Every structure is written in structure tokens, then in C-alpha cells.
Amino acid sequence: SKDRGRNTYNFYTHQMNHDMNRRLRVEEQLRSALKRKELEVYFQPFVDIRSRKIIGAEALLRWNSDLLGQVTPDEFIPIAEQTGLIVSIGQFVIENAFTAAKKWQLEFNPHFKIAINVSPKQFRENTFVDMLKIQLDIHQINATSVELEITEGVLLSGDPIIDSNLSWINDIGVSISMDDFGTGYSSLSYLRSYPFNTLKVDKSFIHDITVDPGDLELVGAAIAMGHGLNLTVVAEGVETEEQYHLLNALKCDYGQGYLFSKPLPRAAFEELLKTQAKN
Ligand code: C2E
Ligand code: CA
Ligand code: CA
Ligand code: CA
């Protein structure tokens, strides 16, 4: 048993070394990813549940590293956060998303909505609101067509700058969406205290609505509560027609998920809009 203890110890140190090396390699490559043009903004449509028409897109970052291959956002976004790289990367996402959204507003729908994920460090920057205003101005984007998706992690720090940034954003007319609703501990109290416009029900609740009556009940309650608070409700991770029909019956406003489309490169997303315009 002494031996087994030692082996377990070796296993853990080995695993920790491995994780640490990977992390360092990712960090090192991420530092030059922007300069090397390895980052690309993809777009996933969200549709109006009743008409099934595309009304906007969520910008989702992709990183195809020369050295590491495809690295998922779930791996590199936290590292971008910890290193502060998220500030320049976040601005890159906004520039690309606004450029594409402006084109689609001119060519397809003047009210086309663009949703952008903002992480805690990014949101706590005192230059964030100014940067946002400048980008809205440069791209001539109407603030009301922009939505910032934040998770409760953004609000958790209690930093006073969060409050002032939120009210500035609200004042200029940009919408704020609570992402991953239902997965945190404090979503409800945050909904009460902050000026949210949209509630995005986490995909983990949508996944089983056709088989788990409890999940169906929870999603129905979240939608009803959102509407009671005058919020737009979005379901993420819609993968099947059955899920779609239940969400329609529950009067969910918008849906997003593989059933409608995976996140796509800009040109492919534009093809989708063209196809829709023809029908
Ligand atoms: P998120 O904001 O919750 O984004 C939704 C995730 O669900 C995306 O993963 C999307 O590709 C995936 N998804 C969409 N439809 C379906 C579906 O029908 N089924 C399933 N199983 N998944 C679906 P992705 O693109 O890998 O992004 C993961 C997370 O990384 C995002 O979660 C977000 O928190 C973060 N992220 C991505 N892009 C950015 C960015 O530009 N800035 C920041 N700060 N975070 C980002
Ligand atoms: Ca999101
Ligand atoms: Ca989400
Ligand atoms: Ca998520």
C-alpha cells in the first residue's frame, strides 16, 4: 500500500506537469495569435421561435493555432482572462462582429442583432465602455442592435466599476443578456439588481426537456419568469425538432442551436442569410 501511495503521487505530479506544460504552451502561442491572424470570429444564428427566421447572430471565437491546431474557447478564453490578453482579443471580436453585422444590416435586415460574449476581466476594464462607444461609432452600428452576453461570473467580483459600466451600457442603449442562466448560484438576485434585457437559458436545461419532466418544468418556469420581468428569453443548445416544438409551445422568444445551424465562418453565415432572403 506504501507503493500504491507513491504511484498515486507520481501519477498526480506527472499529470500536473503535463497540464502545466500544456497551459504554458497555450499561453505562449496565444500571445502571438492575434498578430499571426490565427483567430477568427464565427457566427451562430439565433432564430425567432415562431417564424424560425434568423434575426441575429452570436459571435463565437475560434483559434486555429499553427502549432497546437484547433484550440477550443473553453480552454483558451480562461487563459486569455488570466493573462489579460482578453482585452485586445475582446476588441478584435467586437471589431469583426460589428463589421459583419453592419454589412448584414445593410444587405438583409436593418434590425439584425449581434450578440457578443464579454468576460469578467474585459468588463472590469475602465476603458471598456469607451472602446465600445468608439467601435459603435466607427462602424455606424445602432446601439439597440447590440447585445452583450455576460455570465454571473462578471457580477460576482462586486467591483464598483461593474455597476458603473452596466449603467453606462444601459444608458447608451446596448442590451445586456444573462448567459448560462440557471447554472450559477446567484442568477436570481442578479436579475433583480441589474438592468438585464435578455435571459439565455443554459443548454444543459434544454438538452433533456423531451425526456425529463423536471427539466421541462424548470425551462417553462424560467420562460414565464423572464416574461414576467419583461425580458426576452433565448433557449441555447436546441438540437432537435422535438425540443423546438416544446419551446414553441412554452412561448420561448428565440432559439439557438445545431438544429438551426452550427457556428459558421462569416462567408458561410452570409450564404445562410442569402438563402433565407430568397425564400
Ligand atoms: P457560450 O457563450 O455559452 O456559447 C455557447 C456554446 O454552445 C458555444 O460553444 C456554441 O458553439 C455551443 N453550441 C451552440 N449550439 C449548440 C448545440 O445545439 N449543442 C451544443 N452541445 N452546443 C452548442 P463554443 O463556441 O465552444 O464556446 C464556448 C464558450 O467560450 C462560450 O460559451 C463562451 O463562454 C466562450 N466564448 C466563445 N467566444 C468568446 C468570445 O469571443 N469572448 C468571450 N469572452 N468568450 C467567448
Ligand atoms: Ca454566450
Ligand atoms: Ca451560454
Ligand atoms: Ca457557456
CA of 5 to the centre of ligand 3 (A): 41
**191 or 99, greater pLDDT:** 99
Q: Which atom of ligand 1 is nearest to the CA of 86?
A: 44
Does the pLDDT at position 6 exceed 80?
A: no
User: 92 versus 1: which is more confidently predicted?
Assistant: 92
Residue 8 pLDDT? 66
Length of the chain: 279
Ligand 1, atom 4, lies closest to the CA of 60
Ligand having the closest approach to the CA of 128: 1
Decide: 221 and 202 in contact? Cβ < 8 Å: no
Query: The complex's ipTM?
Result: 0.97
User: Do residues 233 and 252 lie in contact, with contact meaning Cβ atoms separated by under 8 Å?
Assistant: yes
- List, in sequence order, the alpha helices (H) in the chain: 2-33, 73-83, 86-107, 120-124, 128-139, 152-156, 160-172, 187-193, 203-206, 213-228, 241-249, 266-278
Q: Residue 247, class by beta-carbon neighbours within 10 Å (0-12 exposed, 13-18 middle, 19+ buried)?
A: buried
| Neighbour tally for 121: CB within 10 Å | 19
